[in-house]
Structure 1
Amino acid sequence: MSALFNFQSALMVLLLLICTSAYCHQLFPAFMDRKKGSPMWGILWKCARIGERLSLYISVCCVIFAVRLFIGA
């Protein structure tokens, strides 16, 4: 089943997108800030902002998903 039709997989993809964007923004801040006006880079820039500002909640969600994956539920 694709991630579009499975809610848990869609949440996992969204969390990974937020975490990856925040990490890339930490490595290349000037590049992402310069490109935030374009549609694709703008979405990644917004995901990076979410990851930076809500990092505690994002990390808790990542831990919950990791535990669920480890348990196999």
Structure 2
Amino acid sequence: MSAIFNFQSLLVVVLLFICTCAYIRALYPSILDKNKDGWLGLFWKAARIGERLSPYVSGACILMGVSLLVYRG
């Protein structure tokens, strides 16, 4: 089943996208900072969400990991 049609899988994809963009910006900030507009600006915005809301994003990742272990395991 596609991640678009399963809400839990969609949340996992969004969380992984935010965490990956924040990690890439921490390592190589120039890559994401030069593309703030347009389609590539989505990566910059996800990195900003990951940086500014990092306690909430990490809590959501932990909760999602536990729910995946409990409900799919």
Whole-angstrom CA distance in 2 between matches of 1:71 and 1:7: 16
> Is 1:10 aligned with 2:36?
no
Q: Which runs of 5+ in 2 are unaligned?
A: none
Q: Greater CA deviation, 30-39 or 50-59?
A: 30-39
One-letter code aligned to 2:38: S
TM-score, normalisation: structure 2: 0.91
Q: Which runs of 5+ in 1 are unaligned?
A: none
**Corresponding residue SS for 1:72:** helix
> Is 1:68 aligned with 2:67?
yes
Deviations along 1:30-61, one digit per CA (max 9) or x if unpaired, are 1210122231x200000000000000000000
TM-score, normalisation: structure 1: 0.91
Q: How many residues align?
A: 72
After superposition, residues 1-73 of structure 1 pair within 5 angstroms as 1-39=1-39, 41-72=40-71
**Corresponding residue SS for 1:56:** helix
- Ranges of 4+ aligned residues in structure 1 off by more than 3 Å: none
Q: Greater CA deviation, 29-38 or 50-59?
A: 29-38
Structure 1 residue 70 displacement after superposition: 1.5
Whole-angstrom CA distance in 1 between matches of 2:4 and 2:68: 19
Whole-angstrom CA distance in 2 between matches of 1:20 and 1:44: 9
One-letter code aligned to 2:5: F
